[in-house]
């Protein structure tokens, strides 16, 4: 697994979302490295390495292997955003990993949703991903990326409001859409498996986020006995990539709390 490592203290593994890689955490590392030995990973096939395997099981297994190695040295904490949050939850559902604490921001995989919430989730997913699939199906990957970011930010034109370097990174990852939109792996995330997680997990979402992320975050928090649910005022799904210092402060505060 590719990763960037810098800092001192307990390990802190950062797991990126879709249309990005470990480099998205560069600014976060600057805020966190004085208190943590930060390990920012790039998940398999998010760089053009053409490795076999792509999906929540493959990425969870890769992450689990890294955690097992690092815990031989010192304690490990993990933080994930969006797809990375799903990877972490799947890893915890599949394995009893020796981590200290996890912070996950806005997972989106609906495996643990109650039936009454699934129709709302599906409707919002159709609204968000409909334009993405439409552009992808005709080979316009740039517009597919733009639509996915607009949907994630829950605002038309959100992609163009971002910093230029963020836009460039997202467009550079357009090759991952083929795998991300056509995943074949069936993750372990379910109501039963999530309810068995014994780890300390902080689940959080932005006040202004859309239903597909809010519903999954809330449902997951209800199932994990040792979880805490945190709502971040006036923010949306793109908080970790848009406001590095604010999200780093959130990470630091949550990992520094006892219990």
Q: What is the CATH number of the domain that holds 92?
A: 3.40.50.1820
If one counts every other C-beta atom within 10 angstroms of the C-beta of residue 75, the result is 15
Mean pLDDT along residues 4-23: 96
Q: Is 236 domain-assigned?
A: yes
Question: What average pLDDT does the segment 46-70 reach?
Answer: 89
- Residue 173 within any structural domain of the chain: no
* pLDDT of the residue at 50: 62
Domain that holds residue 87: 2-111+186-256
Listing DSSP states for 4-26 in one string gives EEEESSEEEEEE--TT--GGGGH
Mean pLDDT (the chain) is 95
| H/E element, 104 | strand 101-105
pLDDT band at 52 (very low <50, low <70, confident <90, very high): confident
Structure-token pair, residue 208:
């202004």
Domain count of the fold of the chain: 1
Whether residue 250 has pLDDT greater than 70 = yes
- What is the reported pLDDT for 183? 85
Residue 83 pLDDT exceeds 70: yes
Over range 229-238, report the average pLDDT: 98
3-state secondary structure 203-215: EEEECCCCHHHHH
DSSP 176: G
**Six-digit token string for 109:** 């995989």
- Do 204 and 183 touch, CB atoms closer than 8 A? no
Among 205, 199, 208, 200, smallest CA distance to 217 is for 205
69 is written with which tokens?
């190695």
Lowest average pLDDT, out of 3-7, 47-51, 76-80, goes to: 47-51
Residues in CB range of 48: below 8 A, 6 or more apart: 175
Query: Between the CA of residue 214 and those of 77, 172, 201, what are the distances in Å?
Result: 23, 28, 16
pLDDT band at 184 (very low <50, low <70, confident <90, very high): confident
Q: Average pLDDT, stretch 196-207?
A: 96
Q: At 15, list the tokens.
A: 């797991």
Q: Would 137 be classed as within a structural domain?
A: no
Question: What pTM did the predictor assign?
Answer: 0.96
Quick check: is 64 in a domain? yes
Per-residue pLDDT at 49 exceeds 70: no
**What is the Cα gyration radius of the chain?**
17
> Does a structural domain hold residue 13?
yes
Q: Are 177 and 31 in contact (CB under 8 A)?
A: no
pLDDT at 259 over 60: no
Would residue 171 count as lying in a domain?
no
Split at pLDDT 50, 70, 90, the class of 160 is very high
Look at residue 6 and tell me if it is in a domain. Answer: yes
The answer to whether residue 169 sits within a structural domain is no
For residue 107 the two structure tokens come to 């997972």
Average pLDDT over residues 100-108: 97
Using DSSP, state whether 96 is helix, strand or coil: coil
Confidence bin at 225 (pLDDT 50/70/90):
very high
3-state SS class at 188:
coil
CA distances from 87 to 15, 56, 60 (A): 8, 5, 5
Compute the average pLDDT of residues 113-127: 95
Whole-angstrom distance, CA of residue 232 vs CA of residue 239: 9
Give the pLDDT of residue 47: 86
Rounded CA gap, 4 and 187, in Å? 27
Cα–Cα distance, 149 to 86 (Å, whole number): 18
Separation between Cα atoms, residue 179 and residue 45, nearest integer Å? 9
């Amino acid at each position: 697994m590719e990763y960037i490592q810098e800092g001192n203290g307990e390990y802190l593994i950062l797991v990126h979302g879709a249309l990005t890689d470990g480099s998205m955490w560069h600014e976060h590392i600057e805020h966190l490295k004085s208190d943590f030995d930060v390990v920012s990973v790039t998940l398999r096939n998010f760089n053009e390495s053409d490795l076999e395997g792509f999906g929540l099981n493959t990425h969870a297994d890769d992450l689990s292997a890294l955690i097992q190695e690092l815990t031989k040295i010192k304690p490990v904490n993990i933080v994930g955003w969006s797809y990375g949050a799903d990877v972490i939850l799947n890893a915890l559902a599949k394995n009893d990993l020796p981590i200290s604490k996890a912070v996950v921001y806005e997972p989106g995989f609906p495996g643990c949703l109650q039936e009454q919430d699934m129709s709302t989730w599906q409707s919002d997913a159709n609204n968000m991903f409909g334009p993405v699939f439409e552009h992808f199906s005709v080979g316009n990957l740039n517009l597919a990326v733009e639509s996915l970011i607009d949907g994630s930010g829950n605002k038309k034109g959100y992609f163009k409001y971002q910093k230029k370097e963020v836009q460039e990174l997202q467009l550079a990852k357009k090759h991952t859409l083929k795998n991300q939109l056509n995943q074949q792996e069936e993750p372990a995330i379910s109501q039963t498996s999530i309810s068995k997680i014994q780890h300390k997990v902080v689940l959080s979402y932005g006040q202004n986020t859309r239903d597909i992320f809010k519903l999954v975050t809330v449902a997951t928090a209800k199932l994990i006995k040792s979880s805490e649910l945190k709502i971040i005022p006036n923010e949306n799904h793109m908080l970790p990539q848009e406001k590095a210092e604010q999200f780093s402060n959130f990470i630091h505060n949550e990992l520094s709390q006892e219990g």
